[in-house]
Structure 1
Amino acid sequence: MTWGDTRPAGRQTSQGSLAQDVSRRFFEELELMEKVACVHCGQDWVRCYKRKDSGQIFFMCPECESLWPKEEDLRDETDMYLSEFLLTGDSVKDWEAIVPCDEPVALGDGD
């Protein structure tokens, strides 16, 4: 019997098994996701965003707009900002050119 399951192990219905499987997968995925504070400003969590035009995924602090390409370690300082990444020249257009995404935040290998 797994946590949260109040029925005896031999009496599971197919719906119960499915619910357990979905619940287990949810918590497994939740463990992979971490909240990472911005190393640049420390004022917000780094979040995942996607460019509307290309679909390119990146990570950014919404407070200071520091930006990390998807493959970069979020624990490392960055010199890139949203305006430099998008090259629109207009901070309002910058925010209109991106959307939040559901990519889990990954710290990298720390090398």
Structure 2
Amino acid sequence: MPAQLLCPRCQQDWVRPYRFRSDGTPFFLCTECDSLWWPDEAIDEAQAHFLDDVVAARLGVGGNPWSSRVWGDVIEPVLDIHC
């Protein structure tokens, strides 16, 4: 991934590396539109997942996964991601 990649979905922010705090699973995220990509996926509009859906599925909750938690409880930015 280039050092700076404009989000292909919203074109409003950069796609940056993040990981899940619970197990370190890496992913790429646009914090403007909450689009998420796994490291083995092409970062394009067609491959984008919605962060809320992924987090809800990982936590086994329905609906809004943020009702009793904040991003920092679940995910964190990383400086370097190896894909």
Q: TM-score range by the shorter chain?
A: 0.7 to 0.9
Q: Does 1:100 align with 2:77?
A: yes
What amino acid is aligned across from residue 49 of structure 1 in structure 2? Y
**Is the alpha carbon distance of 1:99 and 1:71 closer, same or farther for their aligned partners in structure 2, counting shifts above 3 Å?**
same
Question: Could you say which residue in structure 2 is the equivalent of 1:65?
Answer: 34
Question: Could you say which residue in structure 2 is the equivalent of 1:9?
Answer: none
Question: Could you say which residue in structure 2 is the equivalent of 1:74?
Answer: 43
Q: List runs of 5+ in structure 1 lacking aligned partners.
A: 1-31, 107-111
Give the Cα–Cα distance (whole angstroms) in 2 for the partners of residues 47 and 78 of structure 1: 16
Please identify the structure whose Cα radius of gyration is greater.
1
Q: How high is the TM-score relative to the length of structure 1? A: 0.57
**Is the alpha carbon distance of 1:57 and 1:104 closer, same or farther for their aligned partners in structure 2, counting shifts above 3 Å?**
closer
The count of corresponding residues between Structure 1 and Structure 2 is 75
Question: Could you say which residue in structure 2 is the equivalent of 1:40?
Answer: 9
Question: Could you say which residue in structure 1 is the equivalent of 2:25?
Answer: 56
Which structure has more strand as a fraction of its residues?
2
Q: Over residues 37-61 of structure 1, what are the superposed CA-to-partner deviations in whole Å (9 max), with x where a residue is unaligned? A: 1111000000000100011000010
Q: How high is the TM-score relative to the length of structure 2? A: 0.74
State the identity as a percent: 31
Q: List runs of 5+ in structure 2 lacking aligned partners.
A: 60-64
What is the CA distance between 1:35 and its match in structure 2? 0.6
What amino acid is aligned across from residue 31 of structure 2 in structure 1? P
Q: Are the counterparts in 1 of residues 26 and 81 from structure 2 also a CA contact under 8 Å?
A: no
Q: What RMSD over aligned residues (CA atoms) do the two structures have, in Å?
A: 2.5
Q: Are the counterparts in 2 of residues 33 and 105 from structure 1 also a CA contact under 8 Å?
A: no
Which structure has more helix as a fraction of its residues?
1
